Amino acid sequence: MKKKIYPFYFILGALVLYLVFIVIPGIVGIVYSFTDWSSYSKEVHFVGLDNFKIIFSKDENYFKYIFNSIEFTFITTIAKLVIATVLALILNENIKARNMHRALIFMPAILSMIITGLVFKSILNPESGLLNQILRSIGLGSLAQQWLVDLKFAFNSVMAVDTWKGIGYTMTIILAGLQSISPSYYEAADIDGAHYFSKLKYITLPLLRPAINVTIVLGVLYGLKVFDIIYALTNGGPGYATEVVSTSIFKDFGLGRYAVASTMNTVMIVFMVIVGMLTVKMLTKEEVNM
């Protein structure tokens, strides 16, 4: 009976698109990572684990790219979460024009990463960039840096820009979490004479757990795949300082090294499916009321 009312063909459209454009390419990529597929020859041979040996060998930089992706994910996720939580706590207080502040802080979330990248390329320009201009004009010229050019600063600068863009989005999720906490907890704590920080520690943060988990999951899923912001800001440079997995895949694609690129892709897929399995279970269970 149920099969009749809820027929299988309703699923087909989504399933076919999802299979053809997401799942099957992933599987094909896994197969190609055991071959020597490239733009240089028409024939494709099976080469066993050669590509994996290249990726994990010490003479190549691929391992560093993987590490960079993980570092990027870890740092931006934490930075966004901490700053966004502080901001959400502030904007949850009764301050003036708080809806306007929320809207302004959220705004970068709707901009494209490419636009964000171009804008910050200007702001972080060593000579004429706004950031160094401001530092010089308030007498902190010694802090002015070659933000995107210096090996020491480039990756941190990229992560800072990404954090700038992501804070508002994270903050909105945390705010929704804050608003779902029943005021009666705070009333009870007030009767007991609790301080702001003890309320924060024993009521707010524990009850924010689901919202915090969601932002961590989103941060991890986004960070490991990051491409646009790095491509626009530094394109992996200087040297390989800001190269991550997806930008290295695009570079190998440009060089015609399809098999190596597919292998990097395979490493990423395997990793992400494991992360996904763990987090998706959580995502489908967590509920925060909006």
Partner 1 sequence: MVGGKRFIKVLLNVVAWIVSLIMMIPLLLMFINSLKDKAQADAMSMELPKKLIFHFENYITVIEKGKLFTSFFNSMIYAGFAIIITVIFTLMASYVLARNKSKLNNFFYFFFILGLAIPVSYIPLMKIMQVLKLNNTMIGIILIYAAIQIPLGILLSYAFIASIPVEMDEAGIIDGCNPIRLFFSIIVPLLKPVTVTLGILCFIDAWNQFQAPLYFLNSATKWPMTLSVYNFFGQYSQSWNLVSADVVLTSLPVLIFYILGQKYIISGMTAGSVK
Choosing from 47, 109, 135, 203, the residue that interacts with partner 1 (CB under 8 A) is: 109
**Least distance to partner 1 from the beta carbon of 58, Å?**
25
Residue 54 found at the interface with partner 1 (CB under 8 A):
no
Binding mask 65-84 for partner 1 (x = CB under 8 A): --------------------
Residues 111-170 that bind partner 1 (CB under 8 A): 111-116, 118-120, 122-123, 125, 128-130, 133, 164, 168-169
The half-sphere exposure of 95 on its side-chain side, counting CA atoms within 13 A, is 12
Contact 214, 286 (CB under 8 A): yes
- Which is closer to partner 1, CB of 104 or CB of 188? 104
Question: What gap in Å lies between CA 255 and CA 25, rounded to an integer?
Answer: 20
How many residues bind partner 1 (CB under 8 A)? The answer is: 101
Angle at which helix 205-225 crosses helix 62-91, to 10 degrees, equals: 150
Contact stretch for partner 1 (CB under 8 A) within 52-60, 146-154, 200-208, 246-254:
246-254
**Least distance to partner 1 from the beta carbon of 183, Å?**
19
Strands (E), 196-250: none
Choosing from 71, 225, 238, 240, the residue that interacts with partner 1 (CB under 8 A) is: 225
Residue the block writes with tokens 């003036």: 96
- Which is closer to partner 1, CB of 59 or CB of 171? 171
Choosing from 79, 91, 158, 178, the residue that interacts with partner 1 (CB under 8 A) is: 91
Question: What gap in Å lies between CA 101 and CA 183, rounded to an integer?
Answer: 23
Alpha-carbon distances, residue 103 vs 121, 159, 256 (angstroms): 24, 23, 44
Residue 193 found at the interface with partner 1 (CB under 8 A):
no
Residue 88 found at the interface with partner 1 (CB under 8 A):
no
Residue environment code for 8-42, b if the CB has 16+ CB neighbours within 10 A, otherwise e: eeeeeeeeeeeeeeeeeeeeebeebbbbbbbeeee
Residues 257-276 that bind partner 1 (CB under 8 A): 258, 261-262, 265, 268-269, 272-273, 275-276
